[in-house]
Amino acid sequence: MKAKAWLSAVRLRTLPLSVSGILVGTTLAGIYGHSNPAIFSLAILTTLGFQITSNLANDYGDGVKGTDNADRIGPQRAYQSGSLSQKELKTGIVLSVGITLIFIVVLLYLAFSTEILYLILFAVLGVVSIWAAIRYTVGNSAYGYRGLGDIFVFCFFGLLSVLGSMFLFTKYITFSSVLPATAIGLLSTAVLNLNNLRDFQSDKKSNKNTLVVKLGFKNAKRYHYGLLVASFLCMTLFMYIQMKHWYNAICMVAYLPLFNHFLKVYRTQNPLQFDPELKKVALSTFFLAVFFYLGFNIFL
């Protein structure tokens, strides 16, 4: 019974999205002739650690604040249902942080063992990432309750995930690499925005001032359209700059379900109907990353 509760708190369905940036960053490094299976594996494990820590902290933070209540449309959370206590979730968060720190240490040693400045910089980024994962909903000044969650997701699951993982291999970044990093960041932000559109009414009642609550339902939908379109344009521009063979662009097929999703959001007025769309955007982002990797590696 507890195992099922922990799996619920970990939120397995969010994990594929979290590794998308690592796949894209690794691909970018490969384009410039850099690869290292050990660094790739540890980068995946580290980002999974960040995501699991964030999920546990989110379950705890929203549960303690009463945001997860009967008005919430999404799946019932572990603390909300009573399947995990405050103490158990706190223990889970501490354990997750500890394991993630171990991954960070080993990863940075492999990537920067003789480059102290890079080692220090990425160690700081790792600690900040853990802090940000926890402080999204935990504490009196949780930034997720002040409409700042979108910035966190864009920076950490887009720019830092993609460009940071690329840098682990290459020790540099390029201008064109910012484009797919931005594309992944925008789609990851779209997942959060969709989640907040779904929870608009319950968040508003609970004083969780997400960006959707601040913008209002209609403007938040317009913002969502902008995230999808901007992501598509960024990836298209990257392909224009970097594409050498037609198969480099196979990742663009991942935007087809997103176009359908765009129309669905446009037609939807009932927040309840947004829940199935979350999986569509998250999986489309993941497959965009997978096909991006295959498109630049499958025939090499």
Does residue 40 have a pLDDT over 60? yes
Tokens of 137: 């909903």
Cα dihedral across residues 123, 54, 213, 63: positive or negative: negative
pTM of the model: 0.92
pLDDT for res 69? 53
Helical residues (DSSP H) of the chain, grouped into ranges: 2-10, 15-18, 20-31, 37-65, 78-81, 86-112, 116-135, 149-154, 165-170, 178-198, 200-205, 211-215, 217-242, 255-267, 275-297
Identity of residue 94: V
Nearby residues of 99 by Cβ (< 8 Å), 6 or more positions away: 49
The answer to whether residue 294 scores a pLDDT higher than 80 is yes
> Looking at residue 73, what is its pLDDT?
60
pLDDT at 276: 87
What are the domain boundaries of the chain?
2-297
- pLDDT at residue 290, rounded to an integer: 96
Instruction: Please report where in the chains the tokens 């580290």 appear, as a residue.
Output: 46
Taking only Cα atoms into account, the Rg of the chain, rounded to an integer number of angstroms, comes to 19
Mean pLDDT of 244-258: 94
Higher pLDDT pick, 217 / 162: 162
Residue labelled with tokens 């129309």: 263
Per the CB < 8 A criterion, the answer to whether 188 and 160 are in contact is: no
Give pairs for 169-178: CB < 8 Å, separation 24+.
Answer: 169/25, 169/26, 169/29, 169/34, 169/35, 169/36, 169/39, 169/111, 170/29, 170/32, 170/34, 171/115, 171/118, 174/28, 174/32, 176/238, 176/241, 176/242, 177/28
**Whole-angstrom distance, CA of residue 10 vs CA of residue 96:** 10
Instruction: Please choose, from the candidates 169, 178, 64, the residue with its C-alpha nearest in 3D space to the C-alpha of residue 111.
Output: 169
* Overall average pLDDT of the 252-273 stretch: 92
How far are the Cα atoms of 35, 51, 238 from residue 242, in angstroms, in the given order? 18, 30, 6
Residue with the bigger pLDDT between 148 and 69: it is 148
List the one residue out of 91, 124, 195, 111 whose CA is nearest residue 153: 195
- Res 4: pLDDT: 79
User: Rounded to an integer, what distance in angstroms lies between the CA atom of residue 143 and that of residue 148?
Assistant: 5
Q: Please check the confidence at residue 230 and state whether its pLDDT lies above 90.
A: yes
Least confident residue range of 68-77, 160-169, 244-253 = 68-77
Tell me the pLDDT tens digit for each residue of 64-79.
766 655 555 656 666 6
DSSP assignment of 231-272 equals: HHHHHHHHHHHH--SGGGGGGGGGHHHHHHHHHHHHH---GG
Q: What angle do the packed helices 86-112 and 37-65 form, to 10 degrees?
A: 160
Contact 77, 61 (CB under 8 A): no
Rounded Cα distance, 206 and 141, in Å = 15
The predicted-structure confidence for 75-102, as pLDDT tens digits, reads as follows: 666 666 667 777 888 888 999 999 999 9
- 145, 207 in Cβ contact below 8 A? yes
pLDDT computed for residue 300 by the predictor: 46
For the stretch 166-207, pLDDT in tens is 999 999 999 999 999 999 999 999 999 999 999 888 888 878
Q: What is the mean pLDDT of the chain?
A: 89
Q: Are 59 and 9 contacting, i.e. CB atoms less than 8 angstroms apart?
A: yes
